[in-house]
Structure 1
Amino acid sequence: MTRRTVRARLTIIYCGLFMATGVILLVTSNLVLMNTLARRTPTASAPLTGVPPEGTPAPGTGPMVIKQTFHAFNASVLRDQWITTGVIMAVLILVSVIVSWRLAGRVLRPLHHITATARRLSLSNLHERIALAGPADELRDLADTFDGMLERLQHAADSQRRFVANASHELRTPLAIQRTVLQLGLDDPSPEQLARVRGQLLEITARSEALIEGLLVLAQGERGLEEVEPVALADLVRQVAYETPAEAVTLSVDAEPFDVIGDEVLLARLVGNLVHNAVRYNRPGGEVDVRVSAQGLLTVRNTGPTVPEDRIGELFEPFRRMDRTRTRTGSFDGAGLGLSIVAAIAEAHGATLTAHPNPGGGLEVNVRFPGTRAQPRLRQLTTTVPAGREP
């Protein structure tokens, strides 16, 4: 089956419209001419101009001869008119085919440019853009939309490359440490050395498990929500705060009733990561303040080291860490996925995530959940959660 291009279809449409309008115009004009000639032709009862009322008419000037002459003239005029209009119509159709073909090609030229650019693009040259010039028409909008899509694809590809590189590094590091620990332990297989190796291996394994779990949660948050249900955000925040170790800081919760439509497990991870980070990146004797408003605003504020304004955006990227003193002790650091998981879960729930440094040090993170209905306000709950006590 012959493939009919858009250019051919546009040419057929243009020529068809021209032929239809041309035929209607020419046929209408010929019919009007025919009707005019018929009305101007004298009938048998009408007197003929130039014929004497009495007497014998001159040869060749009788009424019948004159009527026949009129009819022959009308027929000749109509025949010549139809022939002339037919020839003109044929010439105009040929011209319209040529003009329509060239016009369709000119109209579709930007589309060919867009198609050629799309075929040429790959992961190695996503930086290229169509940058279509010309009037602000539909094709220009299509090219601009395509350029915007390329911008997003380039950003996603760059993020994926960084993520894969960082994940490979993070997974390779504990494996190298495990191999080193095993080699040192086997060189001196004494009970004390084996006990020390066992503890180090367990610690490294726990780090690897935490990293893999963080990667899975991050992927789930970026994939979106499968099942949603009303989640009491205030109760969830109080539960997470109760389960968070906070020996060196004071953790306070001020929660008003509010329901979030979403995934309870992911929301618990969002709140848990925010609270854990607020406790971890703090100073001894510092404070962590967690609030939930009736308008769906979750705020986690902590004291601690000063966070540079220009580095806040980095905190929500995977595997980014701040070299700050932490109140929580441990022989290995976090994987740098906490706030990136928060950002992915917030986006999956349609929430808006913002952060800014506190004047006296520390960070304030706000998560606003839209499109939910708050529970009837009973009373404002303000509690201080010491370590190991229920709020």
Structure 2
Amino acid sequence: MDEKKLYYKEDSKNVHKYLTVTNIVVFFGVFSLFPSLINSFKFELSSFFAVLLIFLIWLFILFSAISLLKNAKKIREFYQSDKFWNIKNEIKGRADKCNELNDHIEELKTTFVSSGTKNLGKVEYKDSSNYNFKRKEWEKLKNTDEYVYQCSSTVCKNAQAQPFKYICKYFNIKPNEENLNRIEEVFNNFSAVEEGKKLLTAEEDEIMRKFVGKLPKFIDDKQYPRFKKRLGFKEINLSDVYYPRFKFLYVSAGGNSSIETNITLDLDNLSNFIEYLSEQIKFKKSIEGQRALMTPKLRAYIKERDNYTCQHCGISIKDEPHLLLEIDHIVPVSKGGMTCENNLQTLCWKCNRSKGSKISS
């Protein structure tokens, strides 16, 4: 089924829904309310006014139902019109580019080093206590996520004071060069995600701004998301749920109290974590003094040094104001490359995506 027929089918469901509602309201008025209104003349005046009030409310509901029905028909007609399909065809190329960038951003969100905690197996627990304890906090112990560490209250409280130390100790992230490189990669990619979300939103807003004033009034704020979706735009996920979250959890033996220490590795914490790891590592003499840390300052410096221009294809923010630029290792870390100014370059997201782990020529 092509898109046009699919939209007609979807919109017809709404038309039939509001038509059914309107018929029910009319049926109630004709067969219940009108007879009651007529009969109320025979009784006290107060009864008449009570029924009259109900009648006025019924009229309001009826007109509302008819308005919704007319709106649904207009919407169905609009999505079948040449006006909508001309807009869709006009922006198809730009919408496809936005969707491609959106997919790239979603890929970057999956970059994180597993904590490496051990799978200790599954059990079935039954409480046969003679006492009817609710033990409500014990429900938290069912959380077997690898980023949750069940511990004593002392460990939980100490993790508040020294979060990075305790993440390393209890989530098996050893302070070594390999893990530092991986955390830097996560920070670099997550920084690109946050920049990409802003740039993508700005690009879509710029595209849509051209048509907003020309749209029918019934394409209101509620209808706008569906309008964008039918134009071909994928939804932009602006949430930050992709940030790794570590939890230290203590639950009392009786199950009546608990303590949690939650640590979210957002960009600020990742940047600080990188500095913490670097302070704990004894670097090889061959790279000591040469290696830099992947920080917001270094990322900004590399872009400025390269004049905000992709070093492969030559495109710059002058050509595309909403261009996502990323920082790339010329010689990948996986092939022995270091995080230092001479081994870093600015690439547009497309070139960086296609380069992968290859060495730049």
TM-score, normalized by length of structure 2? 0.28
Which structure has the larger Rg over C-alpha atoms?
A: 1
Higher relative contact order (CA 8 A, sep 6+): 2
